[in-house]
Amino acid sequence: MRPWERGLLLGVAGVMLVWWATACQDRQSPLWTVADIHPQVDLGTGHQALQCNSCHADGASAGPAKSCADCHLADYMAATSPEHRAAGYPTRCAECHNSDAWRPARIDHAALGFALTGAHQRVLCSGCHGPGTPASLPTDCWACHQADYTATTEPDHSRLELAHACAPCHTTAAWRPASFDHTAVGFALTGAHASTRCSRCHAAGAPAPLPTDCWSCHQADYSTAVNPDHRALAHACDQCHSTSAWRPARFDHSLGRFPLTGAHASAACVGCHAGGRYSGTPIACNDCHAADAPANHFGPGCASCHGTQAWKPATFSHEAKFPLTKGEHKRYATRCASCHLVAGDYAAYTCTDCHDNEHTQSQMDSKHRGVQRYLYDSTSCYKCHPKGGGDDTSGGSDG
C-alpha cells in the first residue's frame, strides 16, 4: 500500500471512531437499539423510556444497579397501599411488579395460602394490610370480620352463639344469600319454613337453640283454629299438616269419632263437611244418607244391614231372626214400623201391640195357665215363639 493510501485509511478510521463513540452516547441513534445495547437484559417498556445515565451514572457502561431496590428503594419506602415497609415486604420488586408499570401488581395470593375470590378481589390491599398490620395476616374469617359478626341481627349471631367460621354459611361473593344448613342442627327447613325470615323464629329473647316441636311456634295458630276446633286435638301439627301450607290438611279420621273405612275413605271431604265446616258434623248414617234410603225402607240405622264398602250386598237376614217370607207375618216384610215402633232401633220390637185384638191378655192368660215363666209382654212372646207360630216350641212356624 502506498503511503498516501495508508494515511487516508487511518484518517477515515479516526473519523469513524469519533462518530461511533458519539452515537453510543445517544440512545436515540438509529444505529443502536435497546436489544443491541442490552442483549441479555429485557428493559421492558418502563425502563426503555429512561435516559441511559439514569442507571449508568457518569456514563459508565458497566456495573449498573444489581437489584430493584438499588434504584427503587424510595418507591418502596413511599408505598402505602399496602404499606410495604410496615408489612415487611421483600425489596424484590419483580415478585409482584413488572418493568412496564407499578400497577397492576400481580401478587399471587393463592401461593400465600389465601386465594382472593369473590368480593375479596375488589378490596384494596390496605383494606386488610393497613398500617401496623403484621406482614403475615391470619387467614380465618373472624380475624377480619369480627365486627360484621357482632353487628349481625338477622339472625343475631352473638346471642345464638353461632360459630365464628363464616364459610359454612357464607361465600366470598356476598354475605347474602347465606347457605346455613338447618338440617345439620336437626331441623330441616322445608316448605314455607324455607322462605321464613330467620328473625321470625330466632327473635330477640328467644332461647338458643330453639325447640323443634310444632307447638312451640304454632300455639297461637292451634288455639285460634275453629274449623275444626283444635282444642280436643293433639299438639303435633304434622299429624294433619305439612310445612307447605296449613291447607289442605290430611286429618287422620281414625283419631276422631268416625274412622274412615270402605267407601268413606275415598269420599271427598266436602261430601260430609259442606261449606268447609268440620266441627259438629253429625256421625249418624241417616244424617248423610237419608236420601239414599228407598221408599218404605227399614229405618235410619244403615249399619244394621249395610257395611261401608257398598250398599249391596246387605248383611241382615230377617229369616234367621224372625221369618217374614210366609204366613201371616209375610205382609209385614216391608212394614218395619209395624213391629219396630222406635225408629232406627231394631232391637226393640212389639208383639202385643200388633196382636192385641187377636190375643188379648185375658185370652192369653187363660190359654197359658200353667205355663211356667209366662208373661204377657213381647219379649216373652218371642222367647217361646221365635218363628211367629203357635207351635214354635215343637219346631213349627207361622203359616
Q: Is the dihedral of CA 293, 298, 301, 303 positive or negative?
A: negative
Contact at 8 Å (CB) between 212 and 186? yes
Share of the chain above pLDDT 90, in %: 16
Model confidence over 336-369: pLDDT tens digits?
888 888 876 777 888 888 766 777 888 888 888 8
pLDDT for 278 beyond 50 = yes
pLDDT, residue 308, reads 92
d(CA 125, CA 121): 9
pLDDT, residue 298, reads 66
pLDDT, residue 34, reads 59
Is residue 350 situated within a structural domain?
yes
d(CA 148, CA 139): 16
Is residue 56 situated within a structural domain?
no
Model confidence over 195-221: pLDDT tens digits?
888 878 877 767 667 888 999 999 999
Is residue 88 situated within a structural domain?
yes
Average pLDDT, the chain: 80
Kindly report which listed range (54-68, 109-123, 151-165, 173-187) carries the lowest average pLDDT score: 54-68
Q: Which domain holds residue 93?
A: 68-127
Query: How many domains would you assign to the chain?
Result: 2
Is residue 120 situated within a structural domain?
yes
Confidence class of residue 172 from pLDDT cuts 50, 70 and 90? very high
Averaged pLDDT, 317-323: 83
Q: Which of 89, 112, 127 is the last residue of a domain?
A: 127
Exposure b/e, 213-247, CB count within 10 A at least 16 = b: ebeebeeeeeeebeebebeebeeebeebbeeeeee
Is residue 47 situated within a structural domain?
no
pTM: 0.43
pLDDT, residue 394, reads 43
| Cell 314455607 sits on residue | 192
Pairwise pLDDT comparison (59 vs 134), residue with the higher score: 134
Paired strand residues for 80: 83
Averaged pLDDT, 240-264: 88
Pairwise pLDDT comparison (36 vs 175), residue with the higher score: 175
Is residue 339 situated within a structural domain?
yes
pLDDT, residue 356, reads 62
Averaged pLDDT, 263-288: 83
What is the maximum span of the chain, computed from C-alpha positions, in angstroms?
Answer: 191
Model confidence over 32-54: pLDDT tens digits?
555 566 665 667 777 777 777 77
d(CA 182, CA 166): 15
Contact at 8 Å (CB) between 99 and 50? no
pLDDT, residue 396, reads 41
pLDDT for 280 beyond 90 = no
pLDDT, residue 33, reads 57
pLDDT, residue 296, reads 63
Paired strand residues for 83: 80
pLDDT, residue 363, reads 86
pLDDT, residue 149, reads 94
DSSP class per residue in 231-300: GGS-S-GGGT--SS-SSS----GGGSSS---GGGGGS-HHHHSGGG--TT----HHHHHGGGSPTT-S-S
pLDDT, residue 191, reads 94
pLDDT, residue 29, reads 54
Q: Which runs of consecutive H residues, i.e. helices, occur in 49-156?
A: 68-78, 84-87, 125-128, 141-151
Is residue 122 situated within a structural domain?
yes
Model confidence over 7-30: pLDDT tens digits?
667 666 665 655 555 555 554 555
Is residue 90 situated within a structural domain?
yes
pLDDT, residue 294, reads 76
pLDDT, residue 13, reads 62
Phi then psi for 12, rounded to 5 degrees? -60, -45
